[in-house]
Chains A and B, each alone.
Chain A
Amino acid sequence: MDDKPAIRIRDLHKRFGDLEVLKGVSLTAHPGDVIAIIGGSGSGKSTLLRCINMLEHPTSGQIAIQGEGYRMRPARGGGLEPADRKQVQRIRAQLGMVFQNFNLWPHRTVLENVTEAPIHVLGQPRAQAIDRARQVLARVGLAEKADTHPIHLSGGQQQRAAIARVLAVDPLAMLFDEPTSALDPELVGEVLGVIRDLAREGRTMILVTHEMAFARDVANRVIYLRDGRIEEEGTPEQLFGDPQSPHLKQFIRSVM
């Protein structure tokens, strides 16, 4: 195992106005880790995930990606903001984020969605990017849909295309923000199947999810977030088989 953790978060706080959403969260993901973050709504799961690629700016705390800490400076009106935009862009290009609402770009075809970052952010030659895009699209079962526009795809297909878009840059770590929450129940399986395969491949992932059975199945570590703090963490067997915290016990009962 690499001695540099893929993602290291130390004492992260995030405040929206008077509301403190994260109250000191520390977390380390080593290469190959699949970490599932669970918790009720408003527990700060998504905010935590969005701080990792600076879509949200933490109020205090440190975040380092593969040993490289974001350089931050005090922001106007309190909290922190990135001091070096170029650094943020460079780190973001190595992290792949999959959103709840897919967020594909509807004015481009599926293939163009996938080649966008490799060509325009990483500066890869077009032919090479297209080759790679066709590979990852085949990998998520969308080889046939390369030249269609996203609106002609089902929700499950759109989310798989979004996963392909992330895979195209061969990310250091993948961040999933409730990837199946916006899907019709019958489409959840195909997306979870793709994520499961990627997890087995040894990709580093942090997953915010409501799919407990799935978290138990693919994650090697589960974190239960409650009210902005990590209330309990451990292997899936520990958390789901023998939960300690009364809140977690109740949470598991309510969702499973």
Chain B
Amino acid sequence: MRNILTPMMMPHRLIMAALALAGLTAMALTMQWDWLPANLPRLWDGLLMTLAMLAGSVVVGFALALPLALFQVMGPAPLRWLSLGFCTVIRGTPLLLQLWLFYFGLGALFAQFPEIRDSWAWPYLRQAWPYGFLALTVSFAAYQGEVMRGAFTGVPHGELEAARAVGMSPWLVFRRVWFPRALHRALPTLAGEIILQLKSTPLVATITVTDLYAVITRIRQTTLLTYEPLLLLVAVYLCLSGILILALRWLENRVPTQR
């Protein structure tokens, strides 16, 4: 705790904290917040949707990123080109476009097949969130595939050779040395990418997923307030980013390395 708290006690930080506090007080006293209590349940649901979109797309996207990265590093040529193509296309087009292609494109396509309409999956596929989740996941996978590709190639060759020299199988080399080393090297970048991913989640509101941003938009429409709901949104995203940054930094600092 000490090494987290000490830097926060620096004079410039204290002044900034005081300014923020003054701002908050001014907002609470001069602005209109009476809509807040009645809307808390909806806001909570929206927050959960935002967090679910973030956590789900980060976890599944990262799981997809590993094969994407490995195919590019050491896969046979067809898989290598396929992964490279996938990453390039996804990273080269706007997330909003992908989201709409999935929702309006795939969604409309699915609806044309009776087999799909009658299947167990239809109750899910007729909702919006699977498409939001899919788009966010695919995008995260493509970016992280690129990050992990760099991290895998960056692990010093000698460390892998030492692992082989003690008799490790290729899988054991991967599990015990290559992957943990690459992950640790990628962590700072990964941390930034997760924050970016959090800030991409509001896009799902454009396909009617009711995340936190969508809830706030509705509140603005019903209350005719401009700033108050948006300021709340700012505060929540800031808090989420802050928590993520601290958690990931803690993770990074658990292993001291020079690289």
Q: For B257, what are the chain A residues with a Cβ–Cβ distance below 8 Å?
A: 106-107, 149, 151
Q: For B161, what are the chain A residues with a Cβ–Cβ distance below 8 Å?
A: 55, 99, 103
Distance in Å: Cβ of B191 to nearest Cβ of chain A: 17
**Binary interface encoding of chain A residues 44-78 relative to chain B, with 1 for a CB under 8 A from any of its CBs, else 0:** 00000000010100000000000000000000000
Instruction: Contact check, B165 vs A107: say whether CB atoms are below 8 A apart.
Output: no
Q: For B162, what are the chain A residues with a Cβ–Cβ distance below 8 Å?
A: 97, 99, 103-105, 162
Instruction: Contact check, A103 vs B164: say whether CB atoms are below 8 A apart.
Output: no
Instruction: Contact check, A169 vs B166: say whether CB atoms are below 8 A apart.
Output: yes
Comparing A12-20, A84-92, A203-211, the segment that makes contact with chain B is A84-92
What is the bound-complex CA distance between A93 and B168, given in angstroms?
8
Instruction: Contact check, B256 vs A101: say whether CB atoms are below 8 A apart.
Output: no
What is the bound-complex CA distance between A89 and B168, given in angstroms?
6
Selected contact of A97 from candidates B165, B172, B184, B258, CB within 8 Å: B165
A54 to chain B: closest residue by CB: B164
Q: For B169, what are the chain A residues with a Cβ–Cβ distance below 8 Å?
A: 85, 89
Instruction: Contact check, A120 vs B165: say whether CB atoms are below 8 A apart.
Output: no
Given A55-B161, A99-B161, CB of A121 within 8 Å of CB of B258: no
Selected contact of B258 from candidates A53, A96, A151, A169, CB within 8 Å: A151
Q: For A93, what are the chain B residues with a Cβ–Cβ distance below 8 Å?
A: 166-167
Instruction: Contact check, A92 vs B181: say whether CB atoms are below 8 A apart.
Output: no
A233 contacts the other chain (CB 8 A): no
How many of chain A's residues have a CB under 8 angstroms from any CB in B?
Answer: 29
Distance in Å: Cβ of B175 to nearest Cβ of chain A: 9
B256 to chain A: closest residue by CB: A149
Most buried by B among A53, A85, A97, A120: A120
What is the bound-complex CA distance between A151 and B257, given in angstroms?
7
Selected contact of A107 from candidates B164, B168, B181, CB within 8 Å: B181
B1 contacts the other chain (CB 8 A): no
B45 contacts the other chain (CB 8 A): no
B175 to chain A: closest residue by CB: A120
Q: In chain B, residues 220-238, which have Cβ atoms closer than 8 Å to a Cβ of chain A?
A: none
Given A149-B256, A151-B256, CB of A103 within 8 Å of CB of B158: yes
Distance in Å: Cβ of B231 to nearest Cβ of chain A: 43
Distance in Å: Cβ of A174 to nearest Cβ of chain B: 11
Instruction: Contact check, B256 vs A152: say whether CB atoms are below 8 A apart.
Output: yes
Instruction: Contact check, B166 vs A107: say whether CB atoms are below 8 A apart.
Output: no
Q: For B181, what are the chain A residues with a Cβ–Cβ distance below 8 Å?
A: 105-107
Instruction: Contact check, A121 vs B164: say whether CB atoms are below 8 A apart.
Output: no
What is the bound-complex CA distance between A117 and B167, given in angstroms?
8
Given A106-B181, A107-B184, A107-B255, CB of A116 within 8 Å of CB of B158: no
Q: For B166, what are the chain A residues with a Cβ–Cβ distance below 8 Å?
A: 92-93, 96, 116-117, 121, 165, 169
A92 to chain B: closest residue by CB: B167
**Binary interface encoding of chain B residues 137-166 relative to chain A, with 1 for a CB under 8 A from any of its CBs, else 0:** 000000000000000000010110111111
Distance in Å: Cβ of B213 to nearest Cβ of chain A: 38
Q: For A120, what are the chain B residues with a Cβ–Cβ distance below 8 Å?
A: 168, 172, 176
B177 contacts the other chain (CB 8 A): yes
Distance in Å: Cβ of B25 to nearest Cβ of chain A: 46
Instruction: Contact check, B159 vs A105: say whether CB atoms are below 8 A apart.
Output: yes
B254 to chain A: closest residue by CB: A107
Most buried by B among A53, A90, A169: A53
Given A99-B162, A103-B161, CB of A149 within 8 Å of CB of B167: no
- 9 pairs of A and B residues whose beta carbons are closest in the complex: A93-B167, A103-B162, A117-B166, A103-B158, A92-B167, A97-B165, A89-B167, A121-B167, A106-B257
Given contacts A104-B159, A121-B166, 6 further A-B contacts (CB under 8 A): A103-B156, A116-B176, A121-B167, A149-B257, A152-B256, A169-B166
A-B contact pairs, 8 of them (CB 8 A): A95-B165, A96-B166, A104-B162, A107-B180, A107-B255, A107-B257, A120-B176, A151-B257
A residues at B contact (CB < 8 Å): 53, 55, 85, 89-97, 99, 101, 103-107, 116-117, 120-121, 149, 151-152, 162, 165, 169
